[in-house]
Amino acid sequence: MNATVEDIGGDVSRRDFLYLATGAFAAIGAAGALWPLVDQMNPDASALSLATIEIDITPVQTGQAVTVLWRGMPIFVRNLTAEEVEKGKAADVSDLKDPVARLLGSTAELPATAANITKAGKDNWLVAVGICTHLGCVPKGQNPGDPRGPFGGYFCVCHGSVYDTLGRVRSGPAPRNLDIPPYEFIGETKIKLG
């Protein structure tokens, strides 16, 4: 007996439906099984709580600095003296080893001027990631008596990278300036990082 397309048409469409339903059920089951694996990659509550922190800068006097931990990185917060502010402003960007302000979270390539590194009206405050851009060491210069190098900023004793008071690399093997984290002043005595 010869079968025609019309004779088996009902069977073909029912079979197609069963294949589609089985495939859809398997896909939903696989997604349901994979969701806990994907969801566990989200940061936990303790990590999210460190996404932004507030720093009270009241006790930091002119010429002093503090180091805080943010997202596992040391952050240098320094209250620059009037002389350090003027030296930072006077530096010619074309003389810098890295003429770009390294602003975390920004794709803009702004010149490494004091105005682009510090906040307007708060140019005496430097907030920078305290990690040398050469091999990830922590430069000296935060504490009284630390070596600061010829530019009065930071000095990486491991390989000799020298940064100025605004965290701009001036000499040594470091390829770029210290990163500037996203921050803002909230009031006169607090900085919000993140």
The DSSP annotation for 16-76 comes to HHHHHHHHHHHHHHHHHHHHHHHHTTS--HHHHHTSSEEEE-TT--TT-EEEEEETTEEEE
- Percentages of the chain per state (helix, strand, coil), in multiples of 5: 30, 25, 45
Q: Of 174, 157, 88, whose CA–CA distance to 126 is shortest?
A: 88
Tokens in use for 134? 């050469």
Distance of alpha carbon 76 from alpha carbon 89, whole angstroms: 19
Q: Note if 159 is an active site residue.
A: yes
Distance of alpha carbon 137 from alpha carbon 129, whole angstroms: 11
Which of 14, 15, 159, 190 is catalytic? The answer is 159
Cα 155–chain centre separation: 21
Q: What angle do CA 184, 134, 145 make, to 5 degrees?
A: 70
Tokens in use for 53? 């922190």
Residues acting as catalytic residues:
159
